[in-house]
Amino acid sequence: MANPRHKVKARLHYRLNTFVFIGIFLMVELAAFNTSENLFYLLAAFVLCFPILALIASRTAFGRIDVDRHAPESVHRHEPFDVSVRLQNRKRFVPGVSLRMSLQSGAATAYVPVLPAGVTATLALPMSMPRRGVHRLPALEVRSAFPMAFVERSRRIDDGLEVVVYPAVHRVDRSALERLDDSGNRPRPTQATGDEFYALREYVPGDDIRLICWRVSARVGELIVRDLEPSSARSVAIIVDSRGFPRNQAAEDAFELAVELAASLAVAFLDRQYSVALVTPQGTVPLGQGEGQVLRALELLARVAPVGYEVLGDDWYRGSGDMAGATKLFIATDAARWGSQGIGGSVRVLDPVEVLHAT
């Protein structure tokens, strides 16, 4: 995700060196007053020149430097990614010197010793997101203590960039899936009608461009694709029961592990050419295939949050429409419900430890 250029007024910070020099100046000035020696007056003026010149030089070197940054629109939990910072020195003759960039969280820093006049530099600040969801990037700070570190000028860039953090996707233990019985846990082939037209929907990055309906897209002003029913569809509906409020770290970890199980299963089945649907109390992704379906499922799982049992009862999910004939996989995000009967009492709730490879 890109953000436009930001012009933020620089702030001035006085450092310890400045006060030390002011103290030296006052002592020399006191000596000159007591002795009436011109040499002490000259020495006091010489000492006072240092912080004054540093103040002027720092303003000149730090001014007219534009900063913007870019970040991916989406990442996976704990996945390393780079925040790209672009510095442009718009001065004609004066370089920018000793520029230090850091995220307000202290996660990463970068340093540019010299940025010549008229030059643009791009640097990468590595970071990762430990929590799933939609998160705002921490503010970026650009600092310079040039010259002599008497004063430090800083600029804080809080551009509101947001990153959608998907759940982590793990390898799925195939043998664990094969051990599931035929009571509805094992995905099974269903009959479909060839490459017959099914429905129209909005284009999602990763969809086959050959499925774009150009006439409809031109009429509505956005890309519309055709959903087709594959000739040998295998349909799976993954139902995530996110009821329960994590009240301690162990329960919160169990909640995240269950969400990662749902993401891993969805990706694994889609990689095997299954038609996959995803249902949560926060929303539903209808049956679909392909890379676009992966993105839709991960987007929904990124926003899953606990829901109280008093808000939704055991009958909150009712399979209907195209998902009525699909195989159902129920996942409980409350560790206390692992191994218990699923919604409707017909399907065993999956335990993430049984299915995911340990990493």
Show the domains of the chain with their CATH numbers. Answer: 11-166 (2.60.40.10), 174-192+233-355 (no CATH), 194-229 (no CATH)
Contact 237, 199 (CB under 8 A): no
Q: Which amino acid is at 36?
A: S
* Burial (Cβ within 10 Å: 0-12, 13-18, ≥19) of residue 210: exposed
Angle between helical axes of 38-62 and 16-35 (0-180°, round to 10):
160
Beta bridge partner(s), residue 140: 103, 157
Q: What is the mean pLDDT of the chain?
A: 77
Ranking 86-90, 159-163, 175-179, 293-297 by mean pLDDT, the lowest is 175-179
Q: What is the pLDDT of residue 164?
A: 94
Q: What is the pLDDT of residue 208?
A: 72
**Nearest-CA neighbor of 96 among 83, 113, 78, 76?**
113
- CA dist list (Å): 289 to 2, 120, 241: 29, 43, 23
- Rounded to an integer, the average pLDDT of 282-306 is 90
Q: What is the DSSP string of 71-98?
A: --SEEETT--EEEEEEEEE--SSPPEEE
Beta bridge partner(s), residue 290: none
| Selection from 12-26, 73-87, 202-216, 229-243 with the highest mean pLDDT | 73-87
3-state SS assignment for residue 155 = strand
**Token digits of residue 221:** 């002003």
For residue 207, what is the DSSP state?
S
Who has greater pLDDT, 341 or 15?
15
Q: What is the pLDDT of residue 232?
A: 41
Is the pLDDT at 193 greater than 70, yes or no?
no
- Rounded to an integer, the average pLDDT of 166-178 is 77
Who has greater pLDDT, 191 or 322?
322
**Nearest-CA neighbor of 239 among 328, 322, 151?**
328
3-state SS assignment for residue 57 = helix
Contact 180, 351 (CB under 8 A): no
Q: Which amino acid is at 301?
A: L
Q: What is the pLDDT of residue 151?
A: 77
**Nearest-CA neighbor of 98 among 135, 146, 50?**
146
Is the pLDDT at 235 greater than 70, yes or no?
yes
Contact 236, 187 (CB under 8 A): yes
Q: What is the pLDDT of residue 40?
A: 74
For residue 22, what is the DSSP state?
H
Contact 208, 290 (CB under 8 A): yes
Is the pLDDT at 185 greater than 50, yes or no?
no
Q: What is the pLDDT of residue 231?
A: 41
Q: What is the pLDDT of residue 107?
A: 61
Who has greater pLDDT, 205 or 118?
118
Task: Give the max Cα distance, the chain.
Answer: 106
**Nearest-CA neighbor of 356 among 273, 251, 264?**
264
Phi/psi region, residue 283 (left: phi>0; alpha: psi -120 to 50; beta: rest), is: left
Q: What is the pLDDT of residue 163?
A: 93
**Token digits of residue 86:** 């672009």
- Rounded to an integer, the average pLDDT of 110-124 is 88
pTM (global) more than 0.75: no
